[in-house]
Amino acid sequence: MAKRIGVYPGTFDPITLGHMDIIERGAKLVDELIIGVTTNIAKSPMFDDDERIAMVEREVAAIGCKNCRVVGFNSLLVDFAAKQGATTIVRGIRGVTDFEYEYQLTGMNRQLNHDIETVFLMAEISLQPIASRLVKEIALYGGEIEKFVTPAVRADVEARVARLGKVVG
């Protein structure tokens, strides 16, 4: 029987408790889960590629995910997945807005490579409102983010905000 490999892609800028929930649950569905850390050209990242990869590696190691591997990429998702030998893309859904975007993305990915399936996982209810974009915004305005990220990620974000400077309200 062939090894079932899945890819969970994202910018993870920063990685949140919602991402961690999807990683833990997605890892149970496949023999190997590759967390693909990419740069979204439509976003302005707080952390560079190497910093985000290191952050995700640290957080994945902290939960002891033995069948997870972190890989950086900068290509079409389906091309990256195929290169990794993956047959599944794992995507987290927080709500209807996410579903509409993911539905369109999945349709396009199927047109590009019909051998790769996409699996949607709903984030745990208490984690559904969490978005990296909002975590960064809260932190930049001096708000508390400990409910949304691990203590180590909180320290990373707070250190970056200290370097960048908080937005004065």
pLDDT digit string, tens, across residues 111-163 = 999 999 999 999 898 998 899 999 999 999 999 999 999 999 999 999 999 99
Question: The tokens of 41 are what?
Answer: 């050209």
pLDDT at 168: 59
Question: The tokens of 43 are what?
Answer: 């976003």
CB atoms within 10 A of CB 60: 22
Is 19 among the catalytic positions? yes
pLDDT digit string, tens, across residues 10-30 = 999 999 999 999 999 999 999
Is 114 among the catalytic positions? no
pLDDT digit string, tens, across residues 34-81 = 999 998 777 789 999 999 999 999 999 999 999 999 999 999 999 999
pLDDT digit string, tens, across residues 78-108 = 999 999 999 999 999 987 778 888 899 999 9
Is 69 among the catalytic positions? no
Reported as a pLDDT band with limits 50, 70 and 90, residue 169 is: low
Q: Which residues make Cβ contacts (< 8 Å) with residue 69, sequence separation at least 6?
A: 32, 33, 34, 35
Instruction: Single out the catalytic residue among 19, 52, 136, 154.
Output: 19
Task: Give the three-state DSSP class for 85.
Answer: coil
Contact 86, 7 (CB under 8 A): yes
Instruction: Single out the catalytic residue among 52, 91, 132, 136.
Output: 132
Is 126 among the catalytic positions? no
Question: The tokens of 12 are what?
Answer: 């993870």
Relative to beta strand 32-38, strand 5-10 is parallel
